[in-house]
Every structure is written in structure tokens, then in C-alpha cells.
A and B are shown apart, each in its own frame.
Chain A
Amino acid sequence: MSKTVIQVENLGKLYRLGEVGTGTISHDLNRWWAQLRGKEDPFSKVGTVNDRTQKAEKGEHVWALKDVSFNVGQGEVLGVIGKNGAGKSTLLKLLSRVTSPTTGHIRIKGRVASLLEVGTGFHPEMTGRENIYMNGTILGMTRKEISAKLDDIVDFAGVAKYLDTPTKRYSSGMQVRLAFAVAAFLEPEILIVDEVLAVGDAEFQKRAIGKMQEVSQGDGRTVLFVSHNMASVSQICSTGLLIENGMMAMLDDVKTVINTYTNKRREVFEGFEYSGPIMDSFIQRFSLCNTAGEEKYEFQFDEPIILKYEMILRNYSKGLNLGLYIQDKHNQRITSIVKELPAPNDDSGCLSIELHLSKQKFLNGSYSISTEIFIPFVDKVHLLKDVLSFEVVDNISPLSRFNNYDMGNFYLEPEFIFK
């Protein structure tokens, strides 16, 4: 057994629901004035609607993570899996010190670098070189260390020609490559990676995964990897940690954990359920189903897809829109839907929406969905990036016999006129 480099003991993170404070002095004064007159608190309706863990009442607390204890040995690659809102991100945030725990502690040996995002601190006006230094120092490197690795970073990213060009002129792929390259050459003893690999093209993802394997196997460094992509988890990780409802459900060999997880998934709700801190407006539940109302993530070609939303819109204002974006397997956005949201019917701010894609002509393949509530050009309210994915199985369309080839994403129903 190799020596332990991360020791997590009774780790817990408590979020308070309900009365968290309204966020502005004017609202707080308003509330105080209402209380003085014996009226109902105008801003208190939140707690009652967030029923994620058995109906949290006003002012009640929710454990986003509770009693989590585990050890990670040197050179181990731990994959953290679990459905959305299970507490994976909270665990990652605690490990990377973005927020602090409520109970328990984490002990760490060696330098930690966490990649919850690539390219943090990048500024479009700065050149590639300047951004390498900017991002590197944010991640905890000194300028000297970066200078020593500059050539490697530039090589790996393949941007040598554009090193002194502002990054705003880079393609998005180049920006991601550059950002990942900085992180890849960080050489910390412990690397914490969120699903950042989901960005970039397929070839780059392959290189990124390769680099992570090299880091763990070759140099004996420890990696914590959080992902929805079971394929890459099983490829990279040796051990798996399954988190459910903020609790540790399983810690075992990665294959065993993935099997358990995928079996469980079939029985329970697989859609998205919001679990973060309370906000004014947010998407609470989001799932896909078929015309019979059964939750489903696999559809036939031409089979109607129904997207079900449950959202909370407190302080509703005009201009609030729902955005839906669909990405193909190369992570290219292929289409979008934007629709202005109506005001919710009652004071609780609940709004349920069914969005029917009755005439969908998606071809064979997997697609991922991002969705958001936003005010166009003004404000992002709640963005869920790559929140769900679905598969389309096509045995019907005229293109289905070419399923082994990439025939694109849509069938266009062409009409031919031969003369």
C-alpha cells in the first residue's frame, strides 16, 4: 500500500435554505417593515419549494455533503461519480479550497492544483504568452517555473506561431488547448480535474486523457477526476468513489463502482435536480421523456422527445428567456431554442414547462443538452452546461444504413425532382 496523500475525515458541508438574506439593503428593510406591521415576509417563500431532501422548511439546512471519509494513496487515480447534485462538485470545491467545510477536515500532502475550469484569468486582450503567465500564476506557479516550462506548454498547445497574438484572435479550440497545456505542465503532486475535458475536439480530448494517464502512471502523481463520461473514467481511473445524496455510497475498484452506478441509474430518476445554494430564479428539475410520459434518454429516429422543466422564478421580470442548446458528439453546438418565459401563475414562482420536439430528425448518435434561464444580452441567471444527454437510435431513416459513418446530425427530408 502506497502512502496516503489525501485523507478526508467526516467531511460535511451544510447549506442553509430559506432565509439567507435577501441580498440588498432595500429588500431587508422591506422585510423588516413587513414584520413590523405583522405582515408576512415578502421574501420568504423559497424554503418551502425546495424539496430536494425531503422538503426543506424555511430556514432549514441541507447537507450537500455529509460524513464523507476516504483516503487516497500516492499515484492513485480516483474517479468521483454520481448524478447531478449528488455532491461531487461540492467535494471538489472543498478539496480545491474554493469554499470551506462545515465539519470534518481534509489533510493533504504535497502541492494541489485544481482544474475546475480551464483558462481561469485569461484575458482576450493579452497575448498567448501573457495569458500563460497569468493562468499559471493563478494556478499557483511562480513566473520562474512557468518560464522553465514555456516551450513545453507552447509545444503541447501547438500555438508557437501565435504566441504574441492577443488570445481574442485565437479560435476557441486554440484557447482551450492553450489553457489545458498550462494546466498539464503544472506538475503538482495532486491534480484535481473537473469535467474540463468535455471541451475541445476529439483528438485533443485523446491527448488530454493521455497526458493525465502519463501524469499518474509515469510520475506517480495523484489525480482526482470527476466526470459524467463513464468511458473516460474507466479509462483513466483505478479507483471509483460513488456519491449519492451527499453521502459516500461506494468506494471500490473503478469497474465495480461504475457497474453499480449504471445499474442504479436505470431504476431511479436520471434527470437533473438542482441542489446548489438557493437563488432567485433557477431550474429545479429538468428531464426528458417520451410521449407516454416515461422518463427516457434513448429515442428512435423521428420519435417525439419531450423536455420537462420545473423552475422557480421569484422576482419575475419581463425579458426572462429560456435557452436550450444541443451539442453533437464532437461538442459542436448544432441548434438552439430560445423562448421568452411567461410569468408564473402563483406567488411561489413555480413554473412547469413541457417542450415537445415532435418532428425531430436527429440522426444516429449521442447529443448533449445545455440549458439556461437568461435575459438576452444582459444577464445570465442560471446556466446548466451539458446537463443531460440523449441517444438517438436510427434504424429507419434513409441514412441509417450508413450508421457506421459520420453522416452528420440531421436528416433534412429532401425532395428530389429528376428531370
Chain B
Amino acid sequence: MKDQTKAWDMVIQPKRGWLEVNFRELWRYRDLLYMFVKRDVITIYKQTVLGPIWFVIQPILTAAIFILVFGNIAGISTDGQPKVLFYLSGIVVWNYFSESFSTTSKTFIENANVFGKVYFPRLIVPFSKVVSGLIKFLIQFAFFFAIYLYFLVGVDDTNIKPNEGLLVLPLLILIMALLGLGLGIIFSALTTKYRDLTFLIQFGVQLLMYATPVIYPVSTIPEKYKKFIMANPMTSVVEGFRYAFLGTGDLNWYGLSYSLVFTLITLFFGIIIFNRVEKNFMDTV
């Protein structure tokens, strides 16, 4: 039997086994990933009047509202940092995570048409969303960095202290991307069964932001709530990002390892569930 299957290039059979991800095939389709990303970028660039400027307008307006409402009216502490930098750093990080999460969670619903016509490794689609999200993140990050430099160099009276935390920046970005991806593909699989989950995701992501130190620093959280906030894997990412650039906040290895392990487990289960759903997804749509 074994010799027989060897002579064939491909055997199509009923699904079996839990983890049947064909990574070699994914690699073979890398050009498709590139084209999907290119399509995302081109369509954003061409379809709106302001094009990629929107990437920057959105964090500016959000930061302005946050400064007004949370900073000035509610008077929530920013750990003594300039409000603009404090909020912008949180927003930029949160945006990338929530983008990755919500766009990948729509994988099956938005691509039902294409999936019904052509086979390609379906994981390419959520991967491509995370990569196009990264481009958007880099633009927003560059904007943040410009303002950051202004404060660092141009304003004397600040206690901004960039530090060795910057070295883990790539790891932080990786966690944001993979956590969003992992959660997203789990939900994308679930939405094939329950369409109304998409609404849940929409406001769920919004609510989740308040359970993440985007508009407040961890240092202001009362001790009895702290463990709940720390249980959120995005907490350490946002805090770590702030610590690296501003010098206030909390970057500890426990928190970071927790986030990383949480992310890897989520991603692992995500891929398993996604893989199971993708094979017979077309029968239920």
C-alpha cells in the first residue's frame, strides 16, 4: 500500500488526523501570499480619496479623543508621560492586534466565493491579512516614531527614557501579529457555523481594549483587579512597548513569557480547528 501511494503525486481522501498541515505546500504558494498582500494594498490605495493617509488620520483622531476624554476630563494618569505619546503607543499596538484579529476572523465568510472555485491552502488568506496589517502597522508606527523623536529631541522637560527594552520590540510585534492571527482563525472557523459571531467579534474587540492598558497604565490598577488585567495576553505587549520607548510601565519576563506561550497555544489550536473546517466548509455555506 505504501509503495502504491508513493507513485502518485496527490491522494485526495476523506479527512483524517488532527494536524495535517502541509507546510511545504504553504511555502509553494508564497507567491499567492505576496499577491494577496499586494491586492490589499492596491485596493486601499486606489479606492479611497485620501488613500494611505487614512492609516495616520485614524490614530490621530483616536488619540485626540483619548486625550480629551480620558486624559483631561477623567484625569487618568499617563505615568507622567506626554499624553500624546502615551495614547499613541497604546493605539498603534492595539490597532495592529485588533486588525489582525478581525480581518482574519472573516476569512471564510468573505472568501466563500473564491474558496468554492479554486483550491489553494486556505491558511494563505489569514497569513496575508496579517502581513498587510503589518504594512499598515509600520506606517502608523513611523508616525508614532516621528512624534516620539520630536518629544525626545525637541522638548526638554520630559522623562522619556528609551532603554534596552527596545531589543524585544520584534518579539512584541510578533506576539501582536500571531495572537491576532490565532484568535482570528479560531473565530473564522466558528463563524462558518454561527454567522452572528461576527457581530460579537466587532464589539468584543472594542470591549477587550478596555481590559488592556491602552488608555491607562498598569500602575494605576488596584491590586485586586491586577491579576485579571495581567491575565490578558495583550497587557504585557502594550506595557512592554511603552516601557521600551518611554521608560515607564512594566516589562517583565514572566508577563512576556506568559503572552508568548498563550499566543503559541492559541495559534496551535487555531491552525488545527481551521484545518478541520476548511475541508468541508463548502458544504455548509
Residues of A within 8 A of B (CB): 7, 15, 20-21, 23-26, 28, 93-112, 114, 116-117, 120-121, 123, 125-126, 130, 133-134, 137-143, 166, 277
Let me know if B167 is at the binding interface, CB within 8 A. Answer: no
Let me know if B24 is at the binding interface, CB within 8 A. Answer: no
- CB-based contact B32/A137 at 8 Å: yes
Contact of B12 among A108, A137, A140 (CB under 8 A): A108
In the complex, the chain A residue whose C-beta lies closest to that of B25 is: A140
- CB-based contact A116/B118 at 8 Å: yes
Residues of chain B within 8 A (CB-CB) of A126 are: 39, 42-43
How many Å from the CB of A189 to the closest CB on chain B? 9
Residues of chain A within 8 A (CB-CB) of B153 are: none
Write 30 A-B pairs (CB below 8 A) sorted by A numbering: A20-B284, A21-B284, A23-B195, A24-B195, A93-B116, A93-B282, A94-B12, A97-B12, A98-B115, A98-B282, A100-B13, A100-B15, A101-B13, A101-B14, A103-B14, A105-B12, A105-B14, A107-B8, A107-B11, A107-B12, A108-B10, A108-B11, A109-B9, A111-B9, A112-B10, A121-B114, A123-B43, A125-B46, A134-B38, A137-B35
How many Å from the CB of A7 to the closest CB on chain B? 8
- Determine the distance from Cα of A95 to Cα of B13 in the docked complex, in whole angstroms: 10
- Determine the distance from Cα of A310 to Cα of B260 in the docked complex, in whole angstroms: 56
Residues of chain B within 8 A (CB-CB) of A102 are: 14
In the complex, the chain A residue whose C-beta lies closest to that of B193 is: A21
Q: How large is the interface on B (under 10, 10 to 19, 20 to 34, 35 or more residues)?
A: 35 or more
- Determine the distance from Cα of A98 to Cα of B35 in the docked complex, in whole angstroms: 21
How many Å from the CB of A131 to the closest CB on chain B? 9
* Given the contacts A109-B7, A123-B39, A140-B120, A100 and B194 also touching, CB distance less than 8 Å: no
- CB-based contact A137/B116 at 8 Å: no
How many Å from the CB of B105 to the closest CB on chain A? 15
- Determine the distance from Cα of A100 to Cα of B11 in the docked complex, in whole angstroms: 11
In the complex, the chain B residue whose C-beta lies closest to that of A20 is: B284
Contact of B42 among A24, A111, A130 (CB under 8 A): A130
In the complex, the chain B residue whose C-beta lies closest to that of A146 is: B31
The listed residue with most B CB atoms (<10 A of its CB), out of A24, A126, A137, is A137
In the complex, the chain B residue whose C-beta lies closest to that of A276 is: B283
How many Å from the CB of A153 to the closest CB on chain B? 15
- CB-based contact B11/A105 at 8 Å: yes
Residues of chain B within 8 A (CB-CB) of A116 are: 116-118
Residues of chain B within 8 A (CB-CB) of A106 are: 11-13
- Determine the distance from Cα of A14 to Cα of B13 in the docked complex, in whole angstroms: 13
